[in-house]
Structure 1
């Protein structure tokens, strides 16, 4: 009893003591965290600059760099990148160099092993040596700025303190490694589309392959050419692919348009009130904290103009933006910029056949440093065409020929866009730009517009690149790269409109040059095109409205299909009403939209499962990947015509498979433990924008992640949106009228959670508010002497 009274008597004291300790800990944590905040005001003597630089920042942390010398402004940008984003830069260079495990430990060893086959660090050092002297000097100033900015922090970036690591200084090769990191994001480092497509074409009966994997259809909206013809129902029964003992394999089907892509379009001066072109660009990438892009602007020496836009931390280049005379933006092309080469081996397997005879493999060792463990040594086998990156479905080794491996694949020539004075000049730069191949869309202050492919295009001889073929006899090879004048392009079309959204954009000879590495379906691109032709005059806000268009035009026929399926079924009456009143948009409060879009994907999964099962007999880890982008065409024909020979044998009828798809969708929705009327699209499509360390340590998410907002939009419409992927930025700008431009970014400028810029701008991105492209009134002023 006395013991109980003692405990009760002192319980408030104990509680107060614990609370005081928690408060002291949080105060100490806050003080410790503040030490790594960047400098915003004052004057810093660098000991390195010939010309002083002034950095003005507005309320969102958007800097405008004032300097009479471009090298000095590059130094200042490096300083800013290091102070605000160094950990992000470090992850980018380590990801493409295969050096993540040195920082993060054994969990990233598999990634490092895969990437080391490409030896990007050695290639980056080679490319730096080949760089023109002015670019090399500018890059050196940027690198010096990075290291000065890193060393000028009062404490190392907070991420390193948390990991118990020291940040490694930056060098010039690291800047090119950030370009290679985008190759790994936007293209396959293993030629996965060609690998899968070659296997499917060889293993499937011809009519089944042609039906399930068409090259396009009615949703096509190219700049050149027309939509493809309708697919035909094949005669070969799907059951012929399955053995008596085969158990059909099912793989959950994510959106067939969930790709790293983008939207980009431009209207000419004949369609604007002021006579200048207006360009819109929203680049679709993974959404993280911090955002992949860092906003910045700086003066163009010898002029009164500024270049403004987004930079990739790690390099001194405006990736997309405006220089006051020309605006430019990018979308991923979906073209084919690599080839898999099946090797013909000698009996002992130590040699491979070339047009000059048998040749031994090159063998190089790579040492992967691993935090807390011994280094892992791997061997990279090389050929005259490229590294050996795996085997095909026959077990034949494959060499990989990739533009990214060549000097022309990664450079700093995008810098030249700062000096372009017209759309024509900008297009002429396209072939020389060393980045993952992009649809380059441009417009200028005189109203001219254009499109081309940014990146070197290989000249294939003896084959078209659509299939893996041997190069051993010399009949198939790359004969260098296309000269600039042969680069696909379009300049000032009569319509005054140019659009791209990752779908097929060309036909004929241009398509032969670009090839196919998994074009998007085209519904998103078509919706953009049709909106552009719905108006004859445009302001900047009109283009933002297209970016925010979440109308479910693509799914309208699927909504009607579901209504017809359920019309006479009383047991689905409540579901029927939600579908009927879906609102025809991917709005956060629509239950019907969520049902329709997920029903289609589930039906896609159930109907294509026999193909997946069959292919896994030859490749145990086979998945459709980008080959599912065109599944809409066979799927729609099947639900309309209900061919018995294509019915999944797990179901007794087409009606049964349709209802099974719907029931599985409803069952998953009910796991939210909400009444049906509250199981809306916004419940599923909720933002999950996290810091990499927050994903690894969930406890950190409470102060590192962006709010878990319900998000309007989806993948088959201009407002491309999933919880983890979407518009990493939106910009609308008319060159020369930059102050009327619009800009959104998914997170703030800074990676530091205590920075005043950490989450600024996120709300405008979520709500679609027309926030300015040009920086606002300066709030902070820092001078580097």
Structure 2
């Protein structure tokens, strides 16, 4: 054999030079990144504190702050948030103030124009002016801590270098803007659910509307009331919705339960060995790098209370956690906290009718800064009820009356939970809490438990909120807010169990005042309830086990139907085997689960296409989106009963439609290029936990993205999980027994990829390991003077 020809020396020299260059570039990048690492140890003079503050961090980066005044601990928390999470905080305030374009450019202009209508920055400043002096002081000290923490970094957070921007200082109003950002996540800032539901109710024949948009059914599991009865089949033929020659509209459906929500529940002391209540809470949000929450703890000066739990970078409070006497968690109510008002216009369109006669619109001009471009101007039309946010399907302008616009909508009253010693005392604070309306579930060290709505509830007069009606004649309006005595609540129920999961919780008068803002189906909530009633005694680990329950109870009847369809169909033999042996769980290694789950969604796409086609004839941009979260009920009736008059006329039979739905599933799976036996649920449901900048700058994902783990869990079960959404935290804690508690986050404490805390805790979150709720022994000590 001939010896290989040696490379020319110049090529070797070139390769060596390239290697050295790459090494130098990597070293330079590493040195550049290191400049913005947070300070962990030592002593730091601030010139702004009343007394020294100690920050002890454990090896996972969980801090505990010891201070002699509440304003000093707020300063320290602001310092920590800025050092670890400033870019995240900046995005939160800009998201709700409509100021993202100033940072990232014209790509965010549409978003800013839509949001600026609400003028949240001006509302934040108004709300702060109305606060008690002590709350304003805490907010100012928090802002001072943020700005000091930012100034003590060796360089601005690394994201600003990539964007060629400089960070802007924090002001107290920015902290309320983070609350408004959560409103935008958890409630619609344009009233979309009400707008689409109104269109369906007005345009569809009445019996088809009642069938396709039901208000509940057998999956309901409220705290008060019962599940609703079965659907009645409509009389109208679905073919009547489709005009001859009109092409059928199709829209691929996501799971209707994949909503920003959460699970929480509590068991009373009668069911625990230590006699304290145990609270479980997992808040379902978009999972990104960094995580939305920042774990922290602090003493409440002059008291016996110690705070621990999840803080939201941007504010000086624990959102969900324990004060050592009371523990609490939140889930989104998905009830109705805003009303769209169709306006009656004058002939010229320049005025609108009010109970006091015709009135001119108030016009506000908003200037939107755009990075690298001249600013854009926006005209905001305002009414006595709220801003104009869009038009309905009849092209009538819509004003929006929304709790978020009022002074009571955003405040710092969550601070009062820090010194609530009992469940009853904490529940009494609920109407005063200025946050997006939440199911507040609580338990105390004496074993008492409770549920109520956290947030002010409007007193509607002349309307129930289910339909948009004119307020022009004065018969429909909001008459302030409900009193504490009128607030829906459940305290120490005989079962010693309380559960919520974004579905309907109430019936009767309580349901009337809460309304329906698009409740989740209820299957997830029902499975949690049934898990709780399957045991008579509970430990913290037992509640974590429920959080990790990925049994596909909801899909069992769909699996049986699909297996029956496939039995004996030779060309689908391999598919049949996978469906038959699916395992009954949303397991990452199950092929059958993936097929059954996606078959259901494609069946819904095809069976409801005539309704979508009809709606788009009158409202071309109409989309179901997640407006119809109860679609399971008509879908199941069509699948199981096969009513001939409801068959999509594109198909000759229900069997043909079902096989078409299955074929679409199999075609989508085949795109991965893997054999069917390897097309697991984990392949589709692999984690995509990435930094927000990773969408625009792919290289960011190289050093910030979490591993692409195949994930178990799905919607319609307690272990709520998708590639990008899921449990932003999992918490299980008994007040007074925090050392036995459990806490998970999908990513670590720090947003800095070189921080020792960057990915800490991720593996416990993926695998469900019971990691500690409380911080461990101090690995780092920083004293602020």
TM-score after normalising by structure 1: 0.99
2:753 equivalent in structure 1? 753
Please state whether the residue corresponding to 2:608 is helix, strand or coil: helix
In the TM superposition, residue 9 of structure 1 has moved relative to its aligned partner by: 3.0
Stretch of structure 1 that moved more, 275-284 or 6-15 = 6-15
1:127 equivalent in structure 2? 127
2:338 equivalent in structure 1? 338
Please state whether the residue corresponding to 1:629 is helix, strand or coil: coil
| Alpha-carbon separation, structure 1, partners of 2:183 and 2:509 | 25
In the TM superposition, residue 571 of structure 1 has moved relative to its aligned partner by: 1.1
1:236 equivalent in structure 2? 236
1:714 equivalent in structure 2? 714
| Alpha-carbon separation, structure 2, partners of 1:461 and 1:305 | 42
Please state whether the residue corresponding to 1:22 is helix, strand or coil: helix
| Alpha-carbon separation, structure 1, partners of 2:628 and 2:547 | 25
State yes or no: 1:151 paired with 2:151: yes
- CA 1:373/1:6 → structure 2, altered by over 3 Å: closer, same or farther? farther
Instruction: Describe the superposition over 1:289-334 as per-residue Cα deviations: whole angstroms up to 9, x where unpaired.
Output: 0000000000011234310000000000000000000000000001
In the TM superposition, residue 335 of structure 1 has moved relative to its aligned partner by: 0.4
Q: How does 1:569-584 map to 2 (within 5 A)?
A: 569-584=569-584
In the TM superposition, residue 587 of structure 1 has moved relative to its aligned partner by: 0.5
1:197 equivalent in structure 2? 197
| Alpha-carbon separation, structure 2, partners of 1:758 and 1:617 | 51
Please state whether the residue corresponding to 1:264 is helix, strand or coil: strand
CA contact (8 A) 2:305 2:419 kept: no
| Alpha-carbon separation, structure 2, partners of 1:653 and 1:45 | 77
Q: How does 1:766-785 map to 2 (within 5 A)?
A: 766-785=766-785
In the TM superposition, residue 365 of structure 1 has moved relative to its aligned partner by: 0.4
Q: How does 1:377-388 map to 2 (within 5 A)?
A: 377-388=377-388
2:33 equivalent in structure 1? 33
Instruction: Describe the superposition over 1:126-166 as per-residue Cα deviations: whole angstroms up to 9, x where unpaired.
Output: 00000011111111111100000001111111111111100
1:110 equivalent in structure 2? 110
After the TM superposition, list the runs of 4 or more consecutive aligned residues in structure 1 that deviate by more than 6 angstroms: none
Please state whether the residue corresponding to 1:328 is helix, strand or coil: strand
In the TM superposition, residue 621 of structure 1 has moved relative to its aligned partner by: 1.5
In the TM superposition, residue 6 of structure 1 has moved relative to its aligned partner by: 12
| Alpha-carbon separation, structure 2, partners of 1:529 and 1:212 | 27
CA contact (8 A) 1:466 1:515 kept: yes
Q: How does 1:83-102 map to 2 (within 5 A)?
A: 83-102=83-102
Please state whether the residue corresponding to 1:400 is helix, strand or coil: strand
2:511 equivalent in structure 1? 511
In the TM superposition, residue 7 of structure 1 has moved relative to its aligned partner by: 7.9
2:675 equivalent in structure 1? 675
1:543 equivalent in structure 2? 543
CA contact (8 A) 2:36 2:158 kept: yes
Please state whether the residue corresponding to 2:699 is helix, strand or coil: helix
| Alpha-carbon separation, structure 1, partners of 2:779 and 2:525 | 40
CA contact (8 A) 1:276 1:735 kept: yes
1:211 equivalent in structure 2? 211
1:448 equivalent in structure 2? 448
CA contact (8 A) 1:325 1:736 kept: yes
Instruction: Describe the superposition over 1:619-647 as per-residue Cα deviations: whole angstroms up to 9, x where unpaired.
Output: 22111133321010001111111111111
Q: How does 1:175-574 map to 2 (within 5 A)?
A: 175-574=175-574
In the TM superposition, residue 245 of structure 1 has moved relative to its aligned partner by: 2.3
In the TM superposition, residue 741 of structure 1 has moved relative to its aligned partner by: 0.1
CA contact (8 A) 1:213 1:627 kept: no
Q: How does 1:61-76 map to 2 (within 5 A)?
A: 61-76=61-76
| Alpha-carbon separation, structure 1, partners of 2:765 and 2:687 | 12
Please state whether the residue corresponding to 2:240 is helix, strand or coil: helix
1:645 equivalent in structure 2? 645
| Alpha-carbon separation, structure 2, partners of 1:338 and 1:640 | 37
**Unmatched tracts of structure 1, length 5 or more:** none
2:635 equivalent in structure 1? 635
TM-score after normalising by structure 2: 0.99
| Alpha-carbon separation, structure 2, partners of 1:616 and 1:119 | 32
2:658 equivalent in structure 1? 658
| Alpha-carbon separation, structure 2, partners of 1:326 and 1:155 | 40
Q: How does 1:32-51 map to 2 (within 5 A)?
A: 32-51=32-51
Instruction: Describe the superposition over 1:564-604 as per-residue Cα deviations: whole angstroms up to 9, x where unpaired.
Output: 10111111111111111111000010000000000000001
| Alpha-carbon separation, structure 2, partners of 1:129 and 1:173 | 10
1:703 equivalent in structure 2? 703
| Alpha-carbon separation, structure 1, partners of 2:573 and 2:421 | 62
CA contact (8 A) 2:438 2:453 kept: yes
| Alpha-carbon separation, structure 1, partners of 2:378 and 2:277 | 52
1:735 equivalent in structure 2? 735
CA contact (8 A) 2:305 2:418 kept: no
In the TM superposition, residue 443 of structure 1 has moved relative to its aligned partner by: 0.1
CA contact (8 A) 1:286 1:724 kept: yes
| Alpha-carbon separation, structure 2, partners of 1:702 and 1:734 | 39
| Alpha-carbon separation, structure 1, partners of 2:575 and 2:735 | 50
CA contact (8 A) 2:339 2:401 kept: yes
Please state whether the residue corresponding to 1:367 is helix, strand or coil: strand
1:8 equivalent in structure 2? 8
2:691 equivalent in structure 1? 691
| Alpha-carbon separation, structure 1, partners of 2:382 and 2:435 | 24
Instruction: Describe the superposition over 1:257-284 as per-residue Cα deviations: whole angstroms up to 9, x where unpaired.
Output: 0100000000000000111000000000
Please state whether the residue corresponding to 1:627 is helix, strand or coil: coil
- Indicate the RMSD between aligned Cα atoms, in angstroms: 0.9
| Alpha-carbon separation, structure 2, partners of 1:379 and 1:638 | 48
| Alpha-carbon separation, structure 2, partners of 1:628 and 1:94 | 31
| Alpha-carbon separation, structure 1, partners of 2:303 and 2:376 | 53
CA contact (8 A) 2:293 2:728 kept: yes
| Alpha-carbon separation, structure 1, partners of 2:655 and 2:626 | 28
Instruction: Describe the superposition over 1:460-512 as per-residue Cα deviations: whole angstroms up to 9, x where unpaired.
Output: 00010000000000010000100111110000000000000000000000000
Please state whether the residue corresponding to 1:266 is helix, strand or coil: strand
CA contact (8 A) 2:253 2:625 kept: no
| Alpha-carbon separation, structure 2, partners of 1:344 and 1:729 | 46
| Alpha-carbon separation, structure 1, partners of 2:626 and 2:10 | 65
Please state whether the residue corresponding to 1:782 is helix, strand or coil: strand
Stretch of structure 1 that moved more, 763-772 or 571-580 = 571-580
In the TM superposition, residue 74 of structure 1 has moved relative to its aligned partner by: 0.5
2:593 equivalent in structure 1? 593
